[in-house]
Structure formats: structure tokens, C-alpha cells
């Protein structure tokens, strides 16, 4: 079942040690593009979770998790990081359409599982 998890410094190991793909959105409540684009991210997460049962989706509030924000060198918002087996394999900066997000995630999955 699909669940978008709020990650922070206490539970980030859940995606960092995950043995497959994790797509994590870094955001802030004061960031207008983050707030406006969040429904697109949720829709992408719902669609991708239906297609791939080995993918996690989550979000990190940069104001509440400054250590994670620094650890992953997140400077612009929104930033979406795609992890594969705990390693950042793709950074997506800024706002993307649903089609763009889906295409980027599918490409990363293809690249990582077919090399």
C-alpha cells in the first residue's frame, strides 16, 4: 500500500538502508514552489508505487532536518533525491511536471537495474 513518509533525522535510515529505490523530496513550508508542486509529487508517488513494488517515497522538511539537508548538500528547493541501495543516484532540482518526474524515475530505475 502506498504511503508517503515524513523522514527526519530520527528515521532516515529507513530509506538510507533500503535495498531498492527511494525517492525523497526535500521541501520547506515557506517555499511556494514546494507547496504548489507537492500534489504533482504525491501523484507521481502514487503512480510509481502502483507500477513498482520496490520503491519508497518520502519527504524531508529542511527546517526540521538541517543535518539531513547538509548531509545531502541540498541547497535549492524543492530538491528530489533518488536513492538506490542507500546511494544518491540522481538529483532533481526544482519543479517538474508529472510526466517529467515519471520519466526521470523510470530512466533511473532502468539504468540502475540494467547495468
CATH number, domain at 86? 3.40.30.10
The confidence score (pLDDT) of residue 54 equals: 87
Looking at residue 53, its pLDDT comes to 85
Mean pLDDT, the chain cut into blocks of 10 residues (115 residues total)? 85 90 97 96 95 92 96 96 96 96 96 88
- Which one of 22, 23, 24, 34 is the catalytic residue? 34
* Structure confidence at residue 1 (pLDDT): 55
- Residue 91 has, within 13 A of its CA and on its CB side, a CA count of 10
Cell representation of residue 79: 530538491
Q: How many domains does the chain have?
A: 1
Residue 31 known to be catalytic: yes
pTM: 0.95
How many CA atoms, within 13 angstroms, populate the side-chain half-sphere of residue 108?
25
For residue 99, count CB atoms less than 10 angstroms from its CB and return exposed for 0-12, middle for 13-18, buried for 19 or more.
exposed
CB proximity list for 115: less than 8 A, separation 6 or greater: none
Residue 34 a catalytic site member: yes
Which of these is catalytic: 31, 40, 88, 89? 31
Query: Given this model, what pLDDT does residue 3 score?
Result: 76
Range of the domain at 11: 4-113
Amino acid at each position: 500500500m502506498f504511503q508517503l513518509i515524513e523522514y527526519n533525522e530520527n528515521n532516515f535510515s529507513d530509506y538510507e538502508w533500503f535495498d531498492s529505490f527511494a525517492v525523497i523530496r526535500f521541501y520547506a513550508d515557506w517555499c511556494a514552489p514546494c507547496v504548489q508542486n507537492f500534489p504533482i509529487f504525491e501523484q507521481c508517488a502514487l503512480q510509481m508505487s502502483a507500477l513498482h513494488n520496490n520503491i519508497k517515497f518520502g519527504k524531508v522538511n529542511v527546517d526540521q532536518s538541517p543535518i539531513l539537508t547538509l548531509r545531502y548538500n541540498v541547497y535549492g528547493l524543492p530538491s528530489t533525491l533518488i536513492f538506490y541501495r542507500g546511494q544518491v543516484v540522481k538529483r532533481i532540482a526544482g519543479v517538474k511536471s508529472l510526466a517529467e518526474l515519471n520519466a526521470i524515475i523510470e530512466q533511473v530505475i532502468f539504468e540502475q537495474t540494467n547495468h
